[in-house]
Amino acid sequence: MDYIVEQLKKLGFKEYEAKSYLSLIKQGPVTAYQVSKESGIPRARIYEVLNNLVEKGIVMKEEINDTARYSPLPVDIFLQKAQSEWQSTYMEISDTLRSLETSGEKIDNRVITLKDYKSIISYCVTLIKKAEKRIIISMWDDMYEVLKEELAQAVEKVTVQGITLHVENPIGNVEMHRITPFTETSSTEHWFILSIDSKEMIYGPSFEERSVAFYTDDPVHIYLLEDYVWHDVLVNRLVRRSQDDLEKWITTERRAFFMEK
C-alpha cells in the first residue's frame, strides 16, 4: 500500500489525499468517519482532505439524510483523467522547455556528470533515437540488455558498430569481445561507451558499482574514446586471425604497462 501511495504522490496527490482515495476505492460510498478509521487519517484532518479531493473532481460528495457520504471517481475514469492531464501538461511544457533550451547561449565542449540510474538510461535512449548516421558502442551484457531494444530499432536506419562483452549475437556490425583473464577478473569494472554521430557521447562505469555516468559533446573526448573502441575492435580481430599465442603476450604486456603484479 505504501508503494501505491508514493506513486499517487508522483501524480500530484498529497499523502493524506492518496490514502483517502485508496480507502474510498476499497470501501465504496462511506462517511468521512469511515474513511478516517480505515485509512488512519486523523479525524481533525479528514474533512479538509476529502473536500480538497472533491474540488479536484477525484471524489464525489452526496448528502443523504443530513449525512455526507463520499465516493471515489471510478478507477478507469480516474486513470483516463490522469493520463489526459499528463499528456496535456506534457504538450504545454515541451515546446516552452525546448524554446528555452535553444534560446540560451550554447556552451561548447561540455563534460557533464549524470547521476541516478533512470536518468542515465533515459539520456542514453534519447541519444540513440537522435542518431542520424552512426552509433558506436562498447558495452558489457548488463548495459547492452537494457538498451538492446532501442539499439535494434536504431540499426534499421543507422550503422551500429563497436564491441560487446558476454553478449551473444550482438546486433549490427558489433563484435563479441574475446574472453581474457582481464575481462574475467572480479575487480574489472563494466564500463560502457555510447557515441552518437561522433557528436555526443555518454560513458561510465557499471551501475552495480555506482550510478554515475558522463555526458560530453567535446570532440576531443569523443575522438579519444571512439579511438579506444576501435583499438579494442582491432586487437580483437588480430587475436582472432593470429596463429600465435597473442593473448598471453597481450596479458603480460598489459600488466607491465599498468605496473600490475
Please name which of 141, 251, 243, 137 lies closest in space to residue 195, comparing C-alpha atoms. 137
Alpha-carbon torsion, ordered 237, 218, 170, 132, to 10 deg: -120
Could you tell me the mean pLDDT of each successive run of 10 residues in the chain, 261 residues long?
Answer: 87 92 91 93 94 90 86 88 85 81 62 87 92 95 94 95 94 89 80 95 82 90 94 88 79 79 64
Q: Which helix (H) or strand (E) holds 240?
A: helix 219-241
- Please report the pLDDT score of residue 221 as a whole number: 92
- Please report the pLDDT score of residue 116 as a whole number: 85
* All domains of the chain in start order, with CATH: 2-73 (1.10.10.10), 111-257 (3.30.870.10)
- Please report the pLDDT score of residue 12 as a whole number: 87
Q: Which helix (H) or strand (E) holds 245?
A: none
The sign one gets for the Cα dihedral 63, 67, 70, 71 is negative
Residue 190 has a CB neighbour count (10 Å cut-off) of: 18
- Please report the pLDDT score of residue 98 as a whole number: 77
- Please report the pLDDT score of residue 104 as a whole number: 54
What one-letter code names the amino acid at 165? L
